[in-house]
């Protein structure tokens, strides 16, 4: 297991390599413009523990972390859920935004990655807000659907996991989020692949998940139970506000 020092070391390297990676992190026309946003408005205000957690291509981008953090404060979120934790960057952005008695039900099939980031989250003094469950999210959601106590109980739900299950998640999450609450589906522009021609040279996993992302976007666009707003932040995030 990597130590904090190793994570920090990797961060320094990644910081240097970031100029090459921003093309994957942002759908803005120019990487220079994206870098300008990061260096002007994001990095100078990024909390130190979040800097330490920022790691690689899987991690939510810093500007999206900043966006989530502000969004959660704007809606006064208290009871939240996250599907897809990895090493906990978006989780920390959430935990830092919630009040002291706020809660995050956090799910991931991989506990090891979560534990890599956990010391940083603990040091930030927000680990007590997190209830981490290791394993696939779907069965946990099914259990919560059976128990009506959880219906309409979440202020905010962030989904950043297996894209081929997003529609399965949506079927359940729509009952678990409160009316007026938000679900955020991440990566809904899928590295720009949603508009790629059929013969475009896509990486294998990008090609595999593309159709699921397209299907999700179509379904959300016509779902009368929600209002939506698809933002080109990070790799695209679709906010869904439950209205009925």
As a whole number of angstroms, the distance between CA 27 and CA 192 comes to: 7
- The secondary structure of the chain in percent helix, strand, coil, rounded to multiples of 5, reads 55, 20, 30
d(CA 122, CA 92): 10
Q: Is 160 in the site for ligand SAM (CB under 6 A)?
A: yes
- Residue 159 as a binder of ligand SAM (CB under 6 A): the answer is no
Give the nearest distance from C-beta 130 to ligand SAM in angstroms: 13
Interaction of residue 188 with ligand SAM, rule CB under 6 A:
no
Interface pattern 149-168 for Ca ion (x via CB under 5 A): -----------x--------
Nearer to Ca ion, 89 or 132 (CB): 89
Nearer to Ca ion, 181 or 184 (CB): 184
Among 60, 66, 69, 80, binds ligand SAM (CB under 6 A): 60
- Tell me how far apart the alpha carbons of residues 114 and 214 are, in angstroms, rounded to a whole number: 29
d(CA 215, CA 164) in angstroms, rounded, equals 10
Cβ proximity of 178 and 153 under 8 Å: yes
DSSP 3-state of 5? helix
Give residue for tokens 């929600």: 226
| Partner whose binding site includes residue 239, from ligand SAM, Ca ion, none (CB under 5 to 8 Å by kind) | none
Q: Which is nearer to Ca ion, 145 or 214 (CB)?
A: 214
* Min separation Cβ 161 and ligand SAM, Å: 4
Q: Which of 107, 144, 173, 177 binds ligand SAM (CB under 6 A)?
A: 107
Note whether 217 binds Ca ion by CB under 5 A.
Answer: no
Establish if 59 lies at the interface with ligand SAM (CB under 6 A).
Answer: yes
DSSP SS3 for 88: coil
Our finding on whether 187 is near Ca ion (CB under 5 A) is yes
Which position among 62, 71, 77, 83 is part of the footprint of ligand SAM (CB under 6 A)? 83
- Cβ neighbour number for residue 175 with a 10 Å cutoff: 16
DSSP states of 94-144 as a string?
Answer: HHHHS-TT-EEEEEES-HHHHHHHHHHHHHTT-GGGEEEEES-HHHHHHHH
Q: Is 38 in the site for ligand SAM (CB under 6 A)?
A: no
- Examine residue 108 and tell whether it contacts ligand SAM (CB under 6 A): yes
Beta bridge partners of 132: 106
Residue (49 or 84) nearer to ligand SAM, CB: 84
CB of 197 to ligand SAM, least distance (A): 26
105 binds, among Ca ion, ligand SAM, none (CB under 5 to 8 A by kind): none
> To 5 degrees, how large is the angle CA 191–CA 59–CA 72?
95
Residues near Ca ion, by CB under 5 A = 160, 186-187
């Amino acid at each position: 297991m990597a130590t904090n020092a190793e994570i920090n070391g990797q961060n320094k390297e990644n910081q240097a390599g970031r100029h090459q990676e921003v093309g994957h992190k942002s759908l803005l026309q120019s990487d220079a413009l994206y870098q300008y946003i990061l260096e002007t408005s994001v990095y100078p205000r990024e909390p130190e523990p979040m800097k330490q957690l920022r790691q690689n291509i899987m991690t939510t981008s810093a500007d999206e972390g900043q966006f989530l953090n502000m969004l959660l404060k704007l809606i006064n979120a208290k009871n939240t859920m996250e599907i897809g934790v990895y090493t906990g960057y978006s989780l920390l952005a959430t935990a830092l935004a919630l009040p002291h008695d706020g809660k995050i039900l956090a799910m991931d099939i991989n506990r090891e990655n979560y534990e890599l980031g956990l010391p940083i989250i603990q040091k930030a003094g927000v680990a007590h807000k997190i209830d981490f469950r290791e394993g696939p999210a779907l069965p946990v959601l099914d259990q919560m659907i059976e128990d009506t106590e959880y219906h309409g109980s979440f202020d905010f739900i962030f989904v950043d996991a297996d894209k081929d299950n997003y529609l399965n998640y949506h079927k359940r999450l729509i009952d678990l989020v409160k009316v007026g609450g938000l679900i955020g589906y991440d990566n809904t522009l899928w590295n720009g692949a949603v508009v790629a021609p059929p013969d475009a040279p896509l990486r294998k996993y990008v090609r595999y998940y593309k159709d699921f992302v397209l299907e999700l976007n179509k379904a959300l666009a016509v779902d009368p139970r929600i209002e939506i707003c698809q933002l080109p932040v990070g790799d695209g995030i679709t906010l869904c506000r439950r209205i009925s």
